[in-house]
Amino acid sequence: MVSTETPWWLGAPTKLIKKTTLVPAAPNHLPVHTLTFAIPKDDSAFSGRAKPHSEVAIELGDVVKMVIPGYKPKSYSMSAIRDGEFDITFKVYPNGRASGFLDRLNVGDEMGTFGMTAGRHRNPGSFVGCIAFGVGITECLPVAQAELEKGDAEKVVLLWASRTMADTFWHDKIEDLKKKYPDRFQMAHILSREERQGCLKGRINPELLDQVFQPEDRSQARFLSVGTKEMMRMTDKMLEEIDYPMPQHALLPKSQKHR
């Protein structure tokens, strides 16, 4: 049980119960792992801004804060949440303080975690375009799946920008969505360092976005990009260049009190 004396920013003790490698370490790409944690039995006694893990809304971009010792709480998207457990999926960066600590965790280890709202609301439309930069797919794909499940989006198009196909993962999940929603879900890959049949080549620019995202009714188009803050700002500007001004066309704009 979380003590009422525990500062909310220290989180609740959270046990690692499984570790899965999605992309093994190699000379040309960094490793990606999924960590599965048990949801703390009582994480509701905090005061302040923390929220229970079970109330984290993946479809709204809420996050779980992983409390890194000697550093700071670091935000990660939950890549999945199930009864009694949740996943985070992350890339291990050289000298990364947060990703390095997570990489060194062993099954049975505990660390502090807490949920936190991203302060967003859903702005639905009949066309949804998601742009994932690298490991940003860990937020984009769950949101795209949620939009398909809600049913009011007639078309969901996901563009994933990676260096090579060897840097990608979740192929089974993507194929399952294609089979389940053959007329509503479309997946596109763009690779910056590899020529591959069926994939776009290069980097994202306004012309490419206009090519990939072609809604029947432009007023109903909604977009989400996930990457570094700089990448997301850049993408918003590119979307504005092709007449999708923000936040009008944002799928998950910031709520008024969080702006």
Q: What is the pLDDT of residues 210-250, one digit of tens each?
A: 999 999 999 999 999 999 999 999 999 999 999 999 999 99
User: How many CA within 13 A on the CB side of residue 258?
Assistant: 12
Same domain, 149 and 104: no
Total structural domains within the chain: 2
94-123 pLDDT, tens digit per residue, is: 999 999 999 999 999 999 999 998 899 999
Residue 36 is assigned to a ligand binding site: no
Is the pLDDT assigned to residue 2 strictly greater than 60?
A: no
pTM of the model: 0.92
- pLDDT value, residue 1: 47
Query: Residue 61's domain is classified under what CATH number?
Result: 2.40.30.10
Domain contains 217? yes
What is the per-residue pLDDT for 255? 81
244 belongs to an annotated ligand binding site: no
Please check whether residues 17 and 98 belong to one and the same domain: yes
Was 99 annotated as part of a binding site? Answer: yes
Per-residue pLDDT at 46 exceeds 70: no
* pLDDT > 70? residue 49: no
The answer to whether 126 is a known ligand-binding residue is: no
Instruction: State which of 88, 116, 144 marks the end of a domain.
Output: 116
